[in-house]
Structure 1
Amino acid sequence: MTSVFITDADKPMGKAIAKRLQSEGYEVFTHPANGDAASLKEAIKTAGAIALLINNAEPVFERLVFEEIDEITFANMMNGVARMAFFAVQAVHPVMTKNGGGKIINIASSAPVRGMAGGAHFTAAKGSLYSFTRSWAQELAPDNIRVNLVAADVTTGTAAEDGGSETPLGRPVKIDDIVETVAFLAGEGGDMISGQEIIVDGGFTRVGF
């Protein structure tokens, strides 16, 4: 049985991904949103032979003019997204290498691509996942580890910007749309995909709707 480890698994996106992968026969291990880096590393160590890591960060997010973002708010956002993702990969890397490879999927947002007024701290944190994805895809490829990013945006029921009710494709993006993309990358169809950023937003970002 293939093992998957999902962070922030007690949030809507994390729960949906866990349910979908469980239905595919994965053994699912999870870590709560309020955990710290030390407990995360220990949880990954305890889980054993992890073949798939889902870095799903769904931070509490409030739009703030950048002058209103204090050090604690900024640090909490960066810790909850960038720091946790970084140390999750650091912990899982030797496990995947020992077992011949694996896959890492970072769940981000399109906000770092298009910008977000009142969300400088959010876009900075989520933007780090784009940089991590590009760097890790190169650095971990020799160990047969694929690293990709799925931008989950304009989505009802997540911490991402709950944008308009429409997209160029005529409907809002649903959690299931993101979940199916994650499931595809996790499966055999994603075996030759690495270093890619897939924005699931119905064309919202590129078309400028």
Structure 2
Amino acid sequence: MTAPDHTTGDFTGQVVIVTGAGSGIGRAATIAFARAGAHVLGVGRRPDALAATEAEHPRIVAFPLDICAEGAADQVVRAAIDRWGRLDVVVNNAGITGMMPLAEVTAARITDMLTTNVTAPSLLASAALEHLRASRGVIVNVSSTFGHRPIAGASHYAATKAAIEQLTRSWALELAPEGIRVNAVAPGPTESEALASAGLPQAVIDEIKDDEAARIPLGRRGDPAEVAAWILRLSDAHTAWLTGQILTVDGGYELV
């Protein structure tokens, strides 16, 4: 079934960076921005997945790179500026998830999650600041329902998303005098490759998906395009008086 086009707004002439653009919400947002007129630099670790995203629209340029690598943030911003000469929107979508009960934590796994989910988006936002000041641009962070509700067995993932939400509010306050807006979307369970990337077997993935759908008031998991639509809306000039907000898009999941 093809998802409806929920996109709004006109981003003609604008330049957008989206991390984690190879699949899921990142791919959906990259395509939606391009269809709305923007030039989009899609960043991700997997060249093949990014190539598939790039093939969806001529205004998408794939930039294969591990956003956690040394100097990656500067490389990403420089690639956008060298190609298009400006930067209007940064979407910090790349992240990792994974079950990690307290009894099984290791320093390496905690560090990896913090590096990907907190440090990398912070460095990218910082590297983009000069250009976002010039365009009075926008940062949109991708959190999770679990950024503001607990989850057993994945406390460190939830903690990284709680950090992103507090960074969103604090950056919004810090950057408002410069005309830069910062908001976040907090998706609930959404169709993506995240569970498979976490190394879970298919039987477990299917069980998790069925359980999540059963607990969501609207009765289903989300589609990436539905979340992408709100990323665009938070980036649009029509929301120019909105900053420091966390928008939960989860079918009512946080209500139960």
Work out whether the TM-score is over 0.5: yes
Q: What's the CA shift for 1:40?
A: 2.2
Q: The residue matched to 1:165 in structure 2 has which SS?
A: helix
- Does the CA contact (< 8 Å) of 1:11 and 1:58 recur in 2? no
Query: Are the counterparts in 1 of residues 188 and 251 from structure 2 also a CA contact under 8 Å?
Result: no
Cα gap change, 1:103 to 1:37, in 2 (>3 Å)? farther
Alignment match, 2:226? 177
Q: Distance in 2 between matches of 1:111 and 1:85?
A: 18
Please show how residues 68-107 of structure 1 align to structure 2 within 5 Å. 68-97=104-133, 99-107=134-142
Q: Structure 1 37/111 Cα, relative in aligned 2: closer, same or farther at 3 Å?
A: farther
Alignment of 1:114-125 (within 5 A): 114-125=149-160
Matching residue within 88, 93, 111 for 1:56: 93
Number of residues of Structure 1 aligned to a counterpart in Structure 2: 205
2:78 counterpart of 1:42? no
Structure 1: gaps (5+ residues): none
Deviation at 1:37, TM superposition (A): 4.7
Equivalent pair of 1:37/1:87 in contact (CA under 8 Å): no
Task: Tell me how far 1:57 sits from its aligned partner.
Answer: 2.1
Equivalent positions of 1:136-147 (< 5 A) are 136-147=171-182
CA deviation after TM superposition for structure 1 residue 159, in Å: 2.5
Per-residue deviation, 1:62: 2.6
TM-score (norm 2): 0.76
- Shift of the 37–3 alpha-carbon distance from structure 1 to 2, 3 Å rule, reads farther
TM-score, with length taken from structure 1: 0.92
Quick one: which amino acid aligns to residue 117 of structure 2? V
Q: How does 1:22-41 map to 2 (within 5 A)?
A: 22-33=34-45, 34-35=66-67, 36-41=69-74
Secondary structure at the counterpart of residue 14 of structure 1:
helix
Q: Are the equivalent residues in 1 in contact too, given 2:20–2:44 (CA < 8 A)?
A: yes
Which structure 2 residues correspond to residues 187-206 of structure 1 after superposition, within 5 A?
Answer: 187-205=236-254
Q: Is the Cα contact below 8 Å between 2:147 and 2:186 reproduced in 1?
A: no
Sequence identity percentage:
25
Greater Rg over alpha carbons, structure: 2
Divergent runs of 4+, >6 A: none
Unaligned segments of structure 2, at least 5 residues:
1-12, 46-65, 196-207
Q: Are residues 100 and 20 of structure 1, via their aligned partners in 2, closer, same or farther at CA, if it must alter by over 3 Å?
A: closer
